[in-house]
Amino acid sequence: MKIEPDAAGMRADRLERITEHFGTNYVDTGKIVGCQITVVRGGHTAYQRSLGLMDREHGVAMADDAIFRIYSMTKPIASVALMQLYERGMFQLLDPVHRYIPAWRTLQVGEVQDDGSVNLVKPRRPMNMRDVLMHTTGLPGALFPGNPIDDAFATARAALGGGQTLESVTALLAEHPLKFHPGTHWNYGLSTDIVGRLVEILSGLPFDEYLRREVFEPLGMVDTGFFVPEASLPRLAACYQHSPGTAPRLMDGPFANGFMRRRPYLSGAGGLVSTTRDYVAFCQMLANGGQLDGRRVLGRKTLELMTVNHLPGGASLQDLAIGGFGEAGFEGVGFGLGFAVGLGPAATAMAGSRGDFYWGGAASTAFWVDPDEDLYVVFMTQLFPSVAYPFRAQLRALVYQAIDD
């Protein structure tokens, strides 16, 4: 990868502040084991570094081809896949979801009473395809225990055991009420898994096979998938849990290590692993308006449709979000079809441009694309949770201060 800060209109010396900040304040102090950062502007790579280690316990340096659990950075990829089918005329955004998932036709909304009981009422309108892309479905989940609707669904899902599929979980959701009327709130959860299931229904292909044919192969994303092949396991970076006051703890269990084998549940919400190189290809496609090296993955106008704020009345996530979490800040942030959308520097109180779009993952990975500056940034590390440190806001300040044209 040729590094050309001058061609990108950025100052090499000022870009080195990124190295100083993340190397000194995070890697050298042991707050993170290692990371990779890539900055591209105008199609020129201005900055690329692999810092620290990918495996602290075995002393393995961070490799340029390290494989990362990208968790919720799966969501934009899944959303692009579904919108490819929109481009083929297979659905409209305001179509009711039950047109494609008939068992959902009778879904009701659960209104939680003061005594914890749930009163079922008819939705004010049917859940539509745009809701699924926007997290405005009202679907229950398991991220935020304490809501009786979420808790009942989580118990029923656990009873399904380890053979869950997108199809079986979609069928289970037909038996549980929504938490709110579709379109009235934004709530992080299972919506993008349903994006994956809708891709299967509309395309007639398993979700992983569709992604391979229509997204990964056209973009040359050779290391992106739902599991790491055995031959590539030495390249899988270790995953760590933030532990305040001490060094991060090596994670074990299915959340971190379920990627080491093929799994039946192909989560559109958080199931992929990838490399910096692969995700850079995805971001370059987005920055190019939907194409890479002459291969068009998505139409330019479709991408424009996906990256404007669709929240009603131009609202922000701060106005509509419930549950208290998403992989982007809420203040000054709108939401499109699979991406958070910045409402401008004054609204977000961060450097950037109005209309930049982005997302991140549970292990602190992140990316953003700024069409005004023809710029994108990919940040990879493996530290859970993503709110442990303000990596994303800090990296924004460090990138934008280096622009020199």
* pLDDT tens figures, 332-366: 999 999 999 999 999 999 999 999 999 999 999 99
pLDDT value of residue 141: 85
Mean pLDDT of the region 260-285: 96
Mean pLDDT of the region 92-110: 98
* pLDDT tens figures, 247-257: 999 998 888 88
d(CA 356, CA 237): 29
Q: How many CA atoms lie within 13 A of 208 on its CB side?
A: 16
The CA distances from residue 236 to 60, 68, 90, 99, 296, in Å, are 11, 6, 37, 40, 30
**DSSP state at residue 24:** I
Angle (CA) 348 352 357, round 5°? 80
Mean pLDDT of the region 214-238: 97
Q: Which helix (H) or strand (E) holds 41?
A: strand 34-41
Q: Give exposure, 155-194, as e/b (b: 16+ Cβ within 10 Å).
A: eebeeeeeebbbeebbebbeebbbbbbbbbbbbbbbbbbb
Q: Give exposure, 209-225, as e/b (b: 16+ Cβ within 10 Å).
A: ebbbebbbebbebebbb
Report whether pLDDT(324) > 70. Answer: no
Which domains, and CATH codes, for the chain? Answer: 80-203 (3.40.710.10)
Nearest to 68 by CA among 228, 242, 210, 255: 228
d(CA 123, CA 133): 19
Mean pLDDT of the region 66-76: 98
pLDDT value of residue 162: 87
d(CA 238, CA 231): 16
**pLDDT band for position 189 (50/70/90)?**
confident
pLDDT value of residue 323: 78
d(CA 390, CA 200): 36
**DSSP state at residue 241:** E
Residue-averaged pLDDT of the chain: 96
Tokens coding 404: 């020199």
Verify cis geometry, omega within 30 degrees of 0, for the bond prior to 385: yes
pLDDT value of residue 329: 81
pLDDT value of residue 159: 93
Mean pLDDT of the region 371-381: 98
Angle (CA) 374 25 236, round 5°? 70
Per DSSP, helices labelled H in 89-241 are 129-134, 148-160, 166-173, 191-203, 207-211, 217-219
**207 touches 196 (CB < 8 A):** yes
**What is the SS3 assignment for 281-297?**
HHHHHHHCCCEECCEEC
**DSSP state at residue 243:** -
pLDDT value of residue 97: 98
Mean pLDDT of the region 268-291: 98
- Packed helices 391-400 and 12-22: angle between N→C axes, nearest 10 degrees: 160
d(CA 113, CA 115): 5
* pLDDT tens figures, 102-148: 999 999 999 999 888 999 999 999 999 999 999 999 999 877 778 89
pLDDT value of residue 254: 85
pTM (2 d.p.): 0.96
Nearest to 254 by CA among 265, 246, 243: 265
Q: How far is CA 350 from the centre of its chain?
A: 20
pLDDT value of residue 289: 98
pLDDT value of residue 313: 92
Q: Give exposure, 363-381, as e/b (b: 16+ Cβ within 10 Å).
A: bbbbbbbbbebbbbbbbbb
